[in-house]
């Protein structure tokens, strides 16, 4: 694997990009990080993800892998000698895929309503978001991580959202510590991992970014 060329096309606040940063860090894979300007996408991005034109894109020896959860599984399968990200048992693996898919289906849209809308729509978003987190708390139970004793696929799929929590709390006027204390405890545990701490942006920086977005969308 010494001559592997790994490039990550990413955008610093993206909780989806963070998944790949964390996975690559867990596997200790050297890669080149390329920051994309989403208002002015690079020819490389458009070439590597012509269908969705979205980040993140993992480019391994010139070949692109798109869709963040798919790319994390790819990373796990290729760099299989270190830090397994998915469980070894097929049933546990199926559960991990189920929950990563749940996060993709449910969390982003409701969270977006919290910072991106007002009034009734925002209230609905808040409710859905908290409900989602409560469901995830139920799944976590008393385990230290979603993967059990080991940090893994579902933890990686979810933790990036934590970097947006200060923004959700500010614009949504909610206290995640009060509404989902187990979730916050889990998140703080994950933040103690090097791979996570180095991959997530500062929450205040994210807040500033959202502030600009809100002005753009006329919500501010």
Partner 1 sequence: MSGVKLLGINGSPASRRVEWALKIKGVEYEFIEEDLQNKSQLLLESNPVYKKIPVLLHNGKPIAESLVIIEYIDEVFEGPCILPKDPYDRAIARFWAKFLDEKLPAVWKALWSQGEEQEEDKKEAYEVLKVLDNELKDKKFFGGDGIGFVDIAANFVGFWIGIVEEATGVVLVTSEKFPNFCAWRNKYLNCDQVKENMPSREMLLGYFKSRVQAVANGPK
The residues that touch partner 1, with contacts defined as CB under 8 A, are 51, 60, 63, 65-67, 70-71, 73-74, 77-78, 90-91, 93-95, 97-98, 101-102, 135
Q: How far is the C-alpha of 210 from the C-alpha of 196, rounded, in Å?
A: 21
Return the number of the residue (67 or 169) whose C-beta is nearest partner 1: 67
Return the number of the residue (140 or 206) whose C-beta is nearest partner 1: 140
The secondary element (H helix, E strand) that includes residue 59 is strand 57-60
Return the number of the residue (74 or 166) whose C-beta is nearest partner 1: 74
Burial of 180 (0-12, 13-18, 19+ CB in 10 A): buried
Query: Minimum Å distance from CB 139 to partner 1?
Result: 9
Query: Minimum Å distance from CB 60 to partner 1?
Result: 8
Query: Minimum Å distance from CB 92 to partner 1?
Result: 10
Query: Minimum Å distance from CB 75 to partner 1?
Result: 9
Return the number of the residue (40 or 91) whose C-beta is nearest partner 1: 91
Q: How far is the C-alpha of 216 from the C-alpha of 106, rounded, in Å?
A: 24
Q: Can you tell me which residue has the tokens 């693996």?
A: 93
Q: Positive or negative, the Cα torsion across 109, 110, 112, 116?
A: positive
Return the number of the residue (90 or 218) whose C-beta is nearest partner 1: 90
Tell which residue, 46, 68, 49, has the closest CA to residue 199: 68
Query: Minimum Å distance from CB 170 to partner 1?
Result: 29
């Amino acid at each position: 694997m010494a001559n592997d060329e790994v490039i990550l096309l990413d955008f610093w606040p993206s909780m989806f990009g963070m998944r790949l940063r964390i996975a690559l860090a867990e596997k200790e894979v050297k890669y080149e990080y390329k920051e994309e300007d989403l208002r002015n996408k690079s020819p490389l991005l458009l070439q590597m993800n012509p269908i969705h034109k979205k980040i993140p894109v993992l480019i391994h020896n010139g070949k692109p892998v798109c869709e963040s959860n798919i790319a994390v599984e790819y990373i796990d399968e290729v760099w299989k000698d270190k830090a397994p990200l998915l469980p070894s048992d097929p049933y546990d693996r199926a559960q991990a895929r189920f929950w990563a898919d749940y996060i993709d289906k449910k969390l982003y849209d409701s969270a977006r309503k919290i910072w991106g809308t007002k009034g009734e729509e925002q209230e609905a978003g808040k409710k859905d978001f908290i409900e989602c987190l409560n469901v995830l708390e139920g799944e976590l139970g008393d385990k230290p991580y979603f993967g059990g004793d080991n940090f893994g696929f579902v933890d990686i799929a979810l933790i990036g959202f934590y970097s947006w929590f200060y923004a959700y709390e500010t614009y949504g006027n909610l206290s995640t510590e009060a509404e989902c204390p187990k979730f916050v405890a889990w998140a703080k545990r994950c933040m103690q991992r090097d791979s996570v701490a180095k991959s997530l942006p500062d929450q205040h920086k994210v807040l500033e970014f959202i502030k600009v977005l809100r002005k753009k969308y006329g919500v501010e």
